Amino acid sequence: MSDDTGTQTADSHDRIRVVGARENNLRDVDVVLPKRRLTVFTGVSGSGKSSLVFDTIAAESQRLINETYSAFVQGFMPTLARPDVDLLEGLTTAIIVDQRRMGANVRSTVGTATDANALLRILFSRLGRPYVGSPNAFSFNVASATGTGQLTRSGSATTETRSFTVTGGMCPRCEGMGSVNDIDLSQLYDETKSLDEGALTIPGYTPGGWGYRLYASSGFVDPAKPIREYTPAELADFLHHEPVRMKIEGINLTYEGLVRRIRSSFLSKDVESLQPHIRAFVERAVTFTACPECGGTRLNEAARSSTIAGSSIGCERWTSRPRHRCSRGSRTCWTRSSRSASGTCRSTAPPARCPAVSPSGSRWCDTSGRPSPTSRTCSTSRRSACTRTTWHG
């Protein structure tokens, strides 16, 4: 945006001035940075990019913010040293996203780390249409839950039945992860061998180890029988049995199916944080795809359907711009002027989600009930929650 003289509006804003920066390998560096502009620092490794951005500018910004808190609060915060620089002018509040890993929690995003998501949740909980609940209803870290219990008041012999309901925004299919995984069983074991013969090919599950003894001594399967000869009941107990406390070789342990155990021990963590040999196994045995229920948004249907003045969570506004291909997989997007993969214009209405589910996830149809090119058996015209939107990237 510019005025009548052609001057950019952003040029009238203040600048950040750095004079005499000497952190780490910097040698009296002077630089002027325009605010409200995208500034990129480039250079070879070791040239001082991080020293200037993080150790000088960001460090001083954070230190000034901390000084605004009371002395009591500052006592619980880290003490930040003043960076080695002659002059720093024009600093304002900054959100610092540095080069370190965010942690092992796979639900952490830039939005959660900076609290930007919290502010957006408050906004949608107050102004969203339809209204679906408190800010927790838009959080992919909070699952919907209900419960009932007995309440006994102090000094009273009577009890009351009380119930509670928590409305969360977590997608029930992917549990707020945004992706689902499929495990290749052939990478977990060799079905031609028995457990005693070393059928398990998972790191740490070699014969004699506790991973092996948990299944060989559980009593659910015969450790001397090849896995391919297991009955359907034995295979179900071996792979998918619910967690149960039992005594194995004189020790109280929790037994659960092999697939469930792999998901809880390996897939509940960030893959990059795993040990190299465990990460290699996960990359070989597990396939990760975008959740077909939420489309990778991590939110349930109620949260995705809420909109504010044309914006939405999980959906993009339905416009007349052509959208020939959906960026999520190979599904076709349907807008006023889009075409299908075969080049035939199908509909002027947004798509509907077909309730029929294939192994690869939900199929998609146009609103007339005709199947899309990737859905051969769908014959329904039921719309999804986003009745005024089309789902695409």
Length of the chain: 393
Could you tell me the maximum CA-CA distance found in the chain, to the nearest angstrom? Answer: 86
DSSP for 270-293, written as a single string:
-GGGS-HHHHHHHHHHEEEEE-TT
Cα–Cα distance between 143 and 299 in angstroms, integer? 10
pLDDT tens by residue, the chain, 393 residues: 555 656 565 555 688 999 999 999 899 999 999 888 889 999 998 899 999 998 999 889 888 888 888 888 888 887 888 899 999 988 887 777 777 766 656 777 778 877 788 888 999 999 988 888 899 999 999 999 999 988 888 878 788 888 989 999 999 988 888 888 888 898 899 999 999 998 999 988 888 888 888 998 888 999 999 999 999 999 999 999 999 998 888 888 899 999 999 888 887 776 767 788 888 888 888 888 888 888 888 999 999 888 887 677 764 333 333 333 333 333 333 333 333 333 333 333 333 333 333 333 333 443 343 444 443 333 333 333 333 333 332
Beta bridge partners of 16: 33
Calculate the CA 115 to chain-centre distance: 15
Residue 116's contacts (CB-CB under 8 Å, 6 or more residues apart) are 95, 110
Residue of 80, 85, 87 whose CA lies nearest to 64: 80
Residue 245's contacts (CB-CB under 8 Å, 6 or more residues apart) are 252, 253, 254, 255
Whose tokens are 């040990």? That residue is 275
Cα–Cα distance between 247 and 143 in angstroms, integer? 33
Q: What is the CATH topology of the domain spanning 9-89?
A: Rossmann fold (3.40.50)
pLDDT for the residue 13: 62
Radius of gyration of the chain from its Cα atoms, rounded to whole angstroms? 28
Cα–Cα distance between 329 and 204 in angstroms, integer? 35
- Contact (CB, 8 A) for 322 and 335: yes
Residue of 350, 347, 372 whose CA lies nearest to 362: 372
Residue of 34, 41, 40 whose CA lies nearest to 15: 34
Cα–Cα distance between 18 and 54 in angstroms, integer? 13
| Strands, E assignment, the chain | 15-21, 29-34, 87-89, 145-152, 159-166, 179-183, 244-248, 251-255, 286-290, 307-308, 311-312, 316-317, 352-358, 361-365, 389-390
Cα–Cα distance between 368 and 371 in angstroms, integer? 9
pLDDT for the residue 76: 82
- Contact (CB, 8 A) for 269 and 106: yes
Q: What share of the chain is helix, strand, coil (3-state, %, to 5)?
A: 25, 20, 55
How many Cα atoms are found within 13 Å in the side-chain-facing hemisphere of 205?
24
pLDDT for the residue 103: 62
Residues carrying CATH 3.40.50.300, the chain: 9-89
Cα–Cα distance between 315 and 385 in angstroms, integer? 10
DSSP state of 331: P
Cα–Cα distance between 42 and 97 in angstroms, integer? 17
Beta bridge partners of 179: 290
Residue 59's contacts (CB-CB under 8 Å, 6 or more residues apart) are 80, 81, 83
pLDDT for the residue 279: 85
pLDDT for the residue 169: 93
Cα–Cα distance between 44 and 268 in angstroms, integer? 37
